[in-house]
């Protein structure tokens, strides 16, 4: 599976280790009580744009988790 800017946050959070990476990038949606209701609606590209997070770098790190070894 390749994570893109369109990948929804709920899908990303199913990947082992992804939550830790998102926390390292200070993605605020993980601690937002309102976002919990919208995880299947929020895509990572929108989140990065909204909170000025380096999307390409974040996607690179997340995709390393999905690479087959």
Domain residue ranges in the chain: 9-66
pTM score: 0.88
| Tens digit of each residue's pLDDT, the chain (69 residues) | 899 999 999 999 999 999 999 999 999 988 888 888 888 899 999 999 999 999 999 999 999 998 864
Which pair of tokens denotes residue 56?
A: 């390409």
Residues 10/3, Cβ–Cβ less than 8 Å: no
Residue 67 CA to residue 2 CA, distance in Å, equals 8
Please enumerate in sequence order all residues whose Cβ is within 8 A of that of 50, keeping only pairs 6 or more positions apart, or say none: none
Structure-token pair, residue 27: 């993605």
């Amino acid at each position: 599976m390749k994570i893109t800017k369109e990948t929804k946050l709920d899908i990303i959070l199913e990947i082992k280790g992804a939550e830790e990476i998102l926390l390292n990038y200070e993605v605020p949606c993980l601690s937002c009580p309102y976002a919990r209701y919208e995880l299947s609606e929020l895509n990572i590209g929108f989140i990065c744009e909204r909170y000025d997070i380096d999307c390409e770098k974040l996607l690179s790190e997340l995709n390393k988790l999905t690479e087959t070894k």
